[in-house]
Structure 1
Amino acid sequence: MDIFSEYFFQRALIGGVLIGLTAPLMGVFLVLRRLSMIGDTLAHVSIAGVALGFLINVYPIGIGLVFALLASFAIERLRKAYKTYAELSIAIIMSGGIALATLLFTLGKGFNINVMSYFFGSIYTLDSFDLWVVFGVTVLVVAVIALNYKELFLMFFDEDAAGVSGLPLRFYNIVITMLTALVISVSIKIVGALLVSSLLTIPVACSLLVARSFRHSLFWAVLFSEAAVVTGLFAAGVWDLAPGATIVLVLIGLLIVSMFAKRGLRL
């Protein structure tokens, strides 16, 4: 139990709680837009940025963040070009991100081990600067959603009515995509690029089973996420498990329990 008094575990817990707040908040909007897979896309693009950061010896998460933001603009651009096939933009950017990451891996064979840690997460290696970056993104996400709650609610439930009412849909779409890029880029060091989309989608899937309104879905998504993060980290600390994977498995467990609970209530 001594691990809980270690600074690295305390930093991991703080970082996990912050991401446990922001990821499901963004996930609710992504699920409503039917863009659940955007998490995987931006995560792979972020990995390409992380690889470049190691290659040029610049803060990897920072470069990954820039790559994710650029990818978010590209996705919105392609969504406008292929209005009928909006999901095509995600497939195109994901392919490009994977290709670029692979190319950078071949150029920097010496740092591939460091980059691979971002695929599976390395939450125990968070330092103070990483926490400040995560905290800054958290504050930004919460502030934007709080200040634009009514506009976002209208846009995601009836986009046509929002457009007729004069709401700048393009602006809000770009804002949501950019915030998602920020959340994903700072999350890959915590849960890893291969698992980051689970924090965006599984808590939302749980919340949709129990929530009765949009506001409730936000609350329950965050609650499920935080419960999984805290439980997963403590379980990983006690039994020496992979933290990111443990968090995701706890989320899946919560989803299964929620599904059976709802089915039981119907019976």
Structure 2
Amino acid sequence: MFEIFDHIFMMRAFTAGILIAVTAPVIGIFLVVRRYSLIADTLAHVSLAGVAIGLLTKTYPLIWATVVSAATAVGIETLRKSKRVYGEASVALFLQGGMAVAVTLISIAKGFNAELFGFLFGAIATVSQTDLYFIGILALVIVLSVFFHFKELFAVAFDEELAQVSGMRVKAFNTTLVVLAAIAITVATRIVGILLIGALMVIPVLAAMQFSRSFKETLGISIVMSLVSVIVGLYASYYLDIASGGAIVLCALALFFVSTVVNKSS
């Protein structure tokens, strides 16, 4: 059981996985409360364009993914606040536009390769020491940002109008939230994959909501469920030779279904 840790790449994968398991629900819970869950999928798909830029220019893809995702997050929030396009429509607009750019860049780069496949679906063997440093720095940024602005982010996510009446800088914290979501997506790309990261940000939170009532309690349980999903998923990925992203999300789904059954029987 523990021979898995004899491999350096698995040690890196588990370290990155634990960081991801903490950061994903920390941001995901605010998106769920705000009913803005689909933005995670949009930013994840758009980040593929950043990955494609990195692969095409032979530079570090995760930096480009972070830049493109963060810029898109700001664009979505700006368009939403302008009220020229409704929130869901602005998300769909950037989703389709970002995917179009990504597909075009991928075709210029002569299609799919093993590295790009790893970004899409997650690949534990591809986590490098550079990735680990980068993921660690971004995870620290997310956790510290939420820690120091927890009350403001909660107020904005729970009731934007009330927060504005209370004198909070709603626009600034809305933008902060979506940018942190973009960073969280970049953090998880290597392990979970671009196509599935949105699920890891949302499913553990939904599962935790079956058991708890308070916001902080839900956050704590969702982190535990996320950790279980990532650890079990990485084990399954290694021993069954399957994509890590799919294994992790399937574990999260299993926990969600178990939580709904337990909640109904209690």
TM-score normalised by the chain length of structure 2:
0.95
For each residue in 1:218-260, what CA deviation from the matched residue of structure 2 results, as whole angstroms up to 9, or x when unmatched? Answer: 1011111001111111222233332211111111100010000
Find the aligned partners of 1:188 and 1:221 in 2 and give their Cα distance. Answer: 20
Q: Which amino acid aligns with 2:103?
A: T
Residues 37-63 of structure 1: CA deviation (Å, up to 9, x unaligned): 111111111111111111111101111
Q: 1:92 to 1:171 in 2, by over 3 A?
A: same
- For 1:152-200, what per-residue CA distance to the aligned partner results, in whole angstroms no more than 9, with x for missing partners? 2222222222111110000000111111101112212211111111111
Aligned mates of 2:85, 2:60 — CA distance in 1: 39
Structure 1 runs (4+) deviating above 4 angstroms are none
For the Cα contact (< 8 Å) 2:23–2:139, is it kept in 1? yes
CA distance in 2, matches of 1:12, 1:64: 19
| Residues 190-201 of structure 1 mapped to structure 2, 5 A cutoff | 190-201=191-202
| Aligned equivalents of 1:187, 1:154: Cα separation in 2 | 26
The alpha-carbon deviation at position 122 of structure 1 amounts to 1.7
Q: Which moved more, 1:107-116 or 1:73-82?
A: 107-116
The residue that corresponds to 1:32 in the other structure is: 33
In the alignment, is the contact (CA less than 8 A) between 1:4 and 1:237 conserved in 2? no
Q: Which residue pairs with 1:243 in the alignment?
A: 244
Instruction: Give 1:116's aligned residue.
Output: 117
**2:75 maps to what in 1?**
74
Which residue of structure 2 aligns with residue 126 of structure 1?
Answer: 127
Q: Check the 8 A contact 2:51/2:61 in 1, yes or no.
A: yes
Specify whether residues 111 and 157 from structure 1 end up closer, same or farther in structure 2 by C-alpha distance, changes over 3 A only.
closer
How many residue pairs get aligned? The number is: 265
CA deviation string 1:100-157 (max 9, x = no partner): 0111011110664422321111222111111111111111111111111122222222
| Structure 2 counterpart of 1:90 | 91
Aligned to 2:6: 5
Counterpart CA distance in 1 for 2:165 and 2:102 is: 42
Quote the Cα distance in structure 1 between the aligned partners of 2:38 and 2:241: 30
Root mean square deviation of aligned Cα: 1.4
Secondary structure of the 1:211 match is coil
C-alpha deviation, 1:34, in angstroms: 1.0
The alignment-based identity, stated in percent, is 39
